[in-house]
Amino acid sequence: MNKQHFSTPVALGSVKVTDAFWQRTMELVRKEVIPYQWEVLNDRVKDAAPSWCMHNFRAAGRLMRDKKRKGAEFVAPTYTFRGFEALPDDPEHPEEDRFYGFVFQDTDFSKWIEAVGYSLAQHPDPELEKTADEAIDVVCAAQMEDGYLDTYYIINGMDAAFTNLRDNHELYCLGHLVEGAVAYYEGTGKDKLLRAACRFADFIADRFGAEEGKCKGYPGHEIAEMALIRLYEVTGEERYLTLSRFFLDQRGQEPFYFVEEEKARLAQAGKLKQQAKTNLSYHQSHKPVREQDEAVGHAVRAVYLYSGMADVARKMGDEAMYAACKRLWDSIVGQKLYITGGIGGTHMGESFSYPYDLPNDTAYSETCAAIGLMFFARRMLQIEADSRYADVMELALYNTVLAGMALDGKSFFYVNPLSVVPEACARDERLQHVKPVRQKWFGCACCPPNIARLVSSVAQYAYTESEDTLYTHLYMSGEVTKRFGDQEITLVIESGMPWNGHVKATVRVKEPVQGTLAFRIPGWTSGAQIDAGGKQQTLKGGYACLSGVWQDGDAVEFDFPMPVHMVAADPRVRENLGKVAFMRGPVTFCAEEADNGDQLHLLRVACGSGDVAVGMENVFGHETAVLTVPGKRTVLPEAGGLYGAAAPVKEEDAVIRLIPYYAWANRGLGEMSVWLRG
Amino acid sequence: MNKQHFSTPVALGSVKVTDAFWQRTMELVRKEVIPYQWEVLNDRVKDAAPSWCMHNFRAAGRLMRDKKRKGAEFVAPTYTFRGFEALPDDPEHPEEDRFYGFVFQDTDFSKWIEAVGYSLAQHPDPELEKTADEAIDVVCAAQMEDGYLDTYYIINGMDAAFTNLRDNHELYCLGHLVEGAVAYYEGTGKDKLLRAACRFADFIADRFGAEEGKCKGYPGHEIAEMALIRLYEVTGEERYLTLSRFFLDQRGQEPFYFVEEEKARLAQAGKLKQQAKTNLSYHQSHKPVREQDEAVGHAVRAVYLYSGMADVARKMGDEAMYAACKRLWDSIVGQKLYITGGIGGTHMGESFSYPYDLPNDTAYSETCAAIGLMFFARRMLQIEADSRYADVMELALYNTVLAGMALDGKSFFYVNPLSVVPEACARDERLQHVKPVRQKWFGCACCPPNIARLVSSVAQYAYTESEDTLYTHLYMSGEVTKRFGDQEITLVIESGMPWNGHVKATVRVKEPVQGTLAFRIPGWTSGAQIDAGGKQQTLKGGYACLSGVWQDGDAVEFDFPMPVHMVAADPRVRENLGKVAFMRGPVTFCAEEADNGDQLHLLRVACGSGDVAVGMENVFGHETAVLTVPGKRTVLPEAGGLYGAAAPVKEEDAVIRLIPYYAWANRGLGEMSVWLRG
């Protein structure tokens, strides 16, 4: 690692996104998703499963208040395990003082406040801020005096706290609270929630660590690792960095903490003969993190972990950790990545499958995992601006992440298959995780709020900065301002992405400024034209680095040719042998039944990439590129049995129409397929 | 239906199978499987899961004996539900008086005694018969005075008997007991077990029926329907026919019995708000049987039901029932049949999937289901000798049924995939039901004893008879004797099946006999040559019916050309579009890693059927046909990412070697595939 190459995301307050493509999505999040989510948090949406999130904070808050009133030492009610998801016996009349929902339900608030923080950084909104401040009051009122803040245990009984780190998400709740608190502080300058998060983190730092007598556990669902680095960056308190690194150092050491913990639970329950059943690789705790080299287990957990590892590697100069990050990155990108930027080949454990196992129909490819892959990619970019990371980040963003939300912002995919047959989803229980249309909002509301926080902060993936360089990783029209020493450069960007590769960046300065502007050359282009106005150009890691003294009005223009790519997968990917997919720029395309009729598997591509026509069309109120591909369709036999003599199939001409993958399933129920027979 | 066309299986005592191919398999069953199974029934096999079967009968028998000793009215112990599979808390020290194993564990004995009965009919074996008689004594000692005989309830408490017909297999136990008792009676002439089975059936007939006050339930797992017909045929007692028809008439009538039963159980458990969750189609109880037209649900249950339906249709002249049987047959054969004769596309519920969904790797295709399909096919043949039924029966037999057992008779497949990649089975939980090598013996021992009873009685699938016709459905060397009026014809058959299509049938008679000998013309041949020695030939339903007066030494010779067929599936079968499979005669072939290296999906067939060479080879001590297919193998790229520009793949010549599907997995762990890219 070379510290000179390190960069950090540009503060959201220094960015404006005015891009038509992104404006639409960001406004949906601001105007639809964030307000809707607040209603969900308060169980006020009729057709969505209740969150119970604010209910739980209020219930915990009452416990805190009553304790003060009585002046007695606080004793939490006796712990009763009510399952991973606790639901009221009578849904019409939930009990006021009970915990309901999933064990991690507190994070619904944390994710929401994080998105709110990002949104307020760019769009002041006094009413939203007032709502958020009131919510923060409710949350902070639930915090125990010692700093502990997880309503599941506060309500159900603190005697069981920290007895099941593997499953019960206490440290996950800490992580999300920290992320939300930092974002809200950065977006508004208000630190009430940040102080609460610090107190919870301090409580954990006192309890967990390498020192004798401290707990040697670590999160069952990773996120605290990267969150604590943000807390360290915003507060400068070393103990958060130490705690994060402790969690990473400890993970996967023998004896395995989750196994020992499970044995202790079994012993306490008198089940002495029962074997511990912990699946260590599910939690990436099967071996020390620096020794890991294959991306395994729950995909969201994995990329959250790897993000934390990249952060700690950067902060501590930990080369072994960085080497592990690179191996894990290569494992994903070389063997386990969907062409839509999705990850997680199997719904069993929502996990990575084995190398090259990338099924299209039973894919999990969770929206949250694609978001997590962006986290990981951005953190790798922060260590070294290498466009390979940005290419994957862009692929995940424009395809799986955007596919997660309907074009009207009102429904969401959690699972993002690359091939869908509605009859199969309806009749085949193996596909019970695959929904052929987006869903309203689940009880386990991870993906919609994750999309909200990602989209609201998308500019932090577009731009990072080091002392002397401003990196542009993704292209979107707008402005970004960076200080070079005592001076500022504002870069005004006009971009045609994702529909064309024309980019113009105009410099606004009060007086000439010396600095480097680094622009990514996308991996999907070749023969890029750069007009740098005479500035010194260096190509480094796929970035055009333009250095010199910038005058007001200086402009850089890029022309990134954006041809249609007809793509094949490595032949080891059994699912896709003999098939092709189409990409153009960062966008992966797919065939939908609405355009091509049903039984999409009967289609075959009968041309080269050069024969594909590209057009811009307004489909369902959204301007989008559409590809037209000359093809053939197998004609179904009129009679005959299930099996017959192999003979050349009868085919008829077909014009295959492809739309961007992210835009699928906005026109009702139907088949979809990314890969077509070639 | 035309009663003139009805036929019944030839008694096993009238048949000899001397065929080299079948002798080997039947001897394995007689010398290996049946003795081994007896050890398993008595929990004496170290490396197999305990059956607990005889343990349970002995425990129940002690309860009966103690009752008599005390002279008090019998009171069963209080019912404690110990789960669908009850295991001892301490496996080293099971409690003598407890029920262990699955709720249907009694059937381990019933299936064993059935196979023993068939075997003894053809191979007297005093020692085996003595063991069987002693086992029967143990079983009969467990029977209650009123005839009830299911050790699960006898031991756990009779108050819960008949409270869960859906799941707890009481009527399934009745059905298997009847099948076993009839076979043992027919094989040995001993009726002790038959009388016990009649008493149990009488008990059920008193309790279940259309009459007011009787229970309106029916089996959760079908088999009693067809078993009762056998009992009717052997005893002549109408009440067994009536009971069988009642079960069929009642099935799927509203209100749905299983739903009402579940509601009653929930009510009794105080769970008034819980919804009943019965999946009716899993049990084929979603609509009246005469209205069913798609094969759905648990595949073994389904074909057992359809077999009973065909029996009742024949016995009662029930045209609506027969029409339903034909529709259900067409549903299976037209849309849901593997090319290996297997059925059950999904492990979820071990069920039929939706039409044309025939995945190769996640297939369930249970050995028992293929056996059940033979039951159904034979019963359809008994109504009308149509070779379409026999073709499928033969396909199931020579492929999936035989694949169920290793060539050494010592291990078994329950699940019969058409494509296996060991790494996938090891690492992909979606394939946890698929074993890449045969297993010793499961706790749930359905398939091995089912193979044993099928193979021991295979001649009953080869030959059926009506008053004036002897039907030969399957060809195997040996003898079959049939009475025509007061006279007998013995047919001595010499057959080269399944390796060649030469068949010679020589007539042995004491004096000339008038009669019809009907021989199936297999569906896989064309241009069959028949030398009927001048007898009158009629072709009917795919059978060559030869009529006239038969003299001693008359011979009929057939030459059924047996070319290699390169087969394609209907294009609606998504899995197999662009792929081919190879068949020759009744045998389906497959590629194994042992012959072709790994990554079998890289292979491609590059020839027509005419270019395939056929050879006979001794592979692993077994003489078998081997196909040699000119092909190509995709060369793996040396470098490059997971996705790249689509380009013609680099291929090298490959000689693809195929062995019979039934013989796969006898040479260690490796990949296997039936379908190859064409």
**Same domain, residue pair A178 and A71:** yes
Closest chain B residue by Cα to residue A362: B430
Q: How far apart are CA A74 and CA A60, in angstroms?
A: 12
Measured between CA atoms, how close is A678 to chain B, in angstroms? 9
The predicted pLDDT at position B83 comes to 56
User: Does the pLDDT at position B67 exceed 80?
Assistant: no
| Domain count along chain A | 3
Does residue B590 carry a catalytic annotation? no
Please name the residues in contact with A581: beta carbons below 8 A apart, sequence gap of 6 or more. Answer: A339, A566, A567, A568, A569, A588, A589, A674, A675, A676, B643
- Whether residues A61 and A203 share a domain: the answer is yes
Residue B587 lies in a domain: yes
Q: State which of A225, A251, A277 marks the end of a domain.
A: A251
Mean pLDDT across B120-127: 95
DSSP secondary structure string for all residues of B580-612: EEEEETTEEEEEEHHHH-S-GGGEEE-S-GGG-
Last residue of a domain, one of A211, A236, A251: A251
**Dist CA A650 CA B134 (whole Å):** 65
Confidence check: pLDDT of B293 > 70 = yes
Q: How many CB atoms lie within 10 A of CB B432?
A: 11
Cα end-to-end span (Å), chain A: 43
Q: Report d(CA A573, CA A575) in Å as an integer.
A: 6
Mean pLDDT of all residues in A641-645: 94
Rg (CA), chain B: 26
Which one of A331, A642, A650, A676 makes the best mutation probe of the B interface by having the most chain B beta carbons within 10 Å? A642
Of A572, A574, A601, the CB nearest to B577: A601
Q: Which of B427, B643, B652, B661 to mutate to test the interface with A (most CBs of A within 10 A)?
A: B643
Q: Is A429 in contact with B89 (Cβ distance < 8 A)?
A: no
Verify that B111 and B180 share a domain, yes or no.
Answer: yes
Q: Of B179, B222, B350, B575, which one is the catalytic site residue?
A: B350
Q: Are residues A532 and A610 in the same domain?
A: no
**Whole-number pLDDT of residue B218:** 98
Candidate list A446, A447, A545, A590, residue with the active-site label: A446
Give the pLDDT confidence score for residue B80 in this predicted structure. Answer: 47
For residues B583 and B548, state if they share a domain: no
Q: What is the pLDDT of residues B141-197, one digit of tens each?
A: 999 999 999 999 998 888 889 999 999 999 999 999 999 999 999 999 999 999 999
d(C-alpha B233, C-alpha B178), whole Å = 12
**What residues make up the domain containing B671?**
564-677
Longest pairwise C-alpha distance within chain B:
87
Same domain, B522 and B586: no
Residues whose CB is less than 8 angstroms from the CB of residue B434 and which lie 6 or more positions away in sequence, other chains included: B347, B361, B362, B363, B415, B417, B420, B425
A574/B430 Cβ within 8 A? no
Instruction: Give kind and range of the element (H or E) at residue A8.
Output: strand A8-9
| Residues A567, B601: C-beta atoms closer than 8 Å | no
Instruction: Using an 8 Å CB-CB cutoff, list chain A residues near B427.
Output: 353-354, 357
Residues B543 and B650 reside in one and the same domain: no
Q: Which of A251, A275, A308 is the last residue of a domain?
A: A251
B198 in active site:
no
Q: How far is B155 from chain A (nearest CA, A)?
A: 26
Query: What is the pLDDT, as a whole number, of residue B78?
Result: 47
- Average pLDDT score over residue span B412-429: 91
Average pLDDT, chain A: 93
**In-domain check, residue A500:** yes
> What phi and psi values does residue A482 have, to the nearest 5 degrees?
-135, 140
| Residues 6+ away with beta carbon under 8 Å from B658 | B582, B589, B590, B591, B595, B626, B627, B628, B629
With cut-offs at 50, 70 and 90, classify the pLDDT of residue B79.
very low
Nearest-neighbour CA in chain A from B464: distance (Å): 27
H helical segments located in B447-551: 447-456, 459-462
Question: Residue A649: its pLDDT value, please?
Answer: 86
**Active-site residue identified among A114, A350, A394, A465:** A350
Contact B339 A644 (CB under 8 A): no
**B487 in a structural domain:** yes
Q: How far apart are CA B197 and CA B330, in angstroms?
A: 34
Give the span between the Cα atoms of B136 and B647, in whole angstroms: 69
Residue B540 has pLDDT above 80, yes or no: yes
Using 50, 70 and 90 to split pLDDT, how confident is the model at B399?
very high
Are the beta carbons of A348 and B428 separated by less than 8 Å? Answer: yes
In a domain, A71, yes or no: yes
Q: Which residue from A578, A580, A641 is facing B334, i.e. has the nearest CB?
A: A641
Residue carrying the six token digits 């008198």: A270
pLDDT tens, residue by residue, A350-398: 999 999 999 999 999 999 999 999 999 999 999 999 999 999 999 999 9
Q: Does the beta-carbon distance from B346 to A568 stay under 8 Å?
A: no
Question: Region B400-417: what's the mean pLDDT?
Answer: 94
Per-residue pLDDT of A518-533, as tens digits, reads: 999 999 999 999 999 8
Contact state of A602 with B569 under an 8 Å Cβ cutoff? no
Residue carrying the six token digits 């509203």: B254
Q: Are residues A121 and A213 in the same domain?
A: yes
**Domain assignment of residue A196, yes or no:** yes
Please write the tens of the pLDDT for every residue from A236-275: 999 999 999 999 999 999 999 999 999 998 888 887 777 8
Closest-CA distance, B254 to chain A, in angstroms, reads: 23
Kindly determine whether residue B637 and residue A599, on different chains, have CB atoms separated by under 8 Å.
no
Nearest by CB to B354, which of A90, A423, A572?
A423
Residues A570 and A551 in one domain: no
Which residue of chain B has the CA closest to A633? B571
CB pairs under 8 A between A and B: 140
Q: What's the pLDDT at A83? A: 56
> Is B335 part of any domain?
no
Outline where DSSP puts E strands in A48-204.
85-86, 101-102
Three-class SS of residue B138?
Answer: helix
A634 neighbourhood in chain B, CB within 8 Å: 571, 577
The pLDDT of residue A64 is: 87
* B-chain residues near A429 (CB < 8 A): 346, 348-349
CB atoms < 10 A from the CB of A457, how many? Answer: 24
Domain identity same for B500 and B606: no
Q: Is the pLDDT of residue B219 over 70?
A: yes
Q: For residues B640-649, give the mean pLDDT.
A: 90
* Closest approach of A468 to chain B, Cα-based (Å): 33
The answer to whether residues A546 and A571 belong to one domain is no
Minimum-distance CB partner of A567 among B428, B637, B643: B643
For the residues B298-315, what does the mean pLDDT come to? 98
Quick one: pLDDT band at residue B444, thresholds 50, 70, 90? Answer: low
Confidence of residue A187 (pLDDT cuts 50, 70, 90): very high
In a domain, B631, yes or no: yes
| Tokens representing residue A18 in the block | 């005015």
Q: Is there a contact between A643 and B571 if contact means CB atoms under 8 Å apart?
A: no
pLDDT value of position B50: 85
| Domain contains B153 | yes
Say whether both B527 and B498 belong to one domain. Answer: yes
> What pLDDT digit, counting tens, does each position of A296-308 carry?
999 999 999 999 9
